[in-house]
Amino acid sequence: MYVEFGYCAFGHLNGCLLPFITRVEGERYLRIVVSPDKHQRTHDQLLALIAHELQHAREVIDHEEVVDTPTMEKMFRKIGAPVKHGYETPAAQATGDKVLAELMNEARRVARP
């Protein structure tokens, strides 16, 4: 799995698990892309976004039948809901929200005198 800065859906999304999967010698490879625009989000929001996308990668890993773009799309149609440029899953939304909440709580805890 690779996580890198870049743009998804022509800059319309802050991050994405690219809808391409490569299989080499029985191993599957995935790419996550997150927008490098620091003006759109805080460091904590970026970490939560990466966690959200890693959850999508985990969803793929948990489904051994996903070996190419058509099987990935079929899986996300089954477990997620369509959005403008792909699919969204409850688990990825919950993961991103949980990570952001934990980071914000830690920041508040550290900021207290």
pLDDT in tens, 95-110: 999 999 999 988 777 7
Contact at 8 Å (CB) between 4 and 33?
yes
Domains in the chain: boundaries: 2-111
- Cβ-contact 52, 80 below 8 angstroms: no
Chain segment 83-97, per-residue pLDDT in tens: 988 899 999 999 999
Over residues 36-82, the pLDDT tens digits come to 887 778 899 999 999 999 999 999 999 999 999 999 999 999 999 99
Quick one: pLDDT at residue 39?
A: 75
pLDDT confidence of residue 93: 97
**Angle 81-57-5 (CA atoms, 0-180°, nearest 5)?**
100
Q: What confidence tens digit (pLDDT) does each residue in 25-39 have?
A: 889 999 999 998 877
pLDDT of 23 strictly over 90: no
Q: Structure tokens of 78?
A: 């089954």
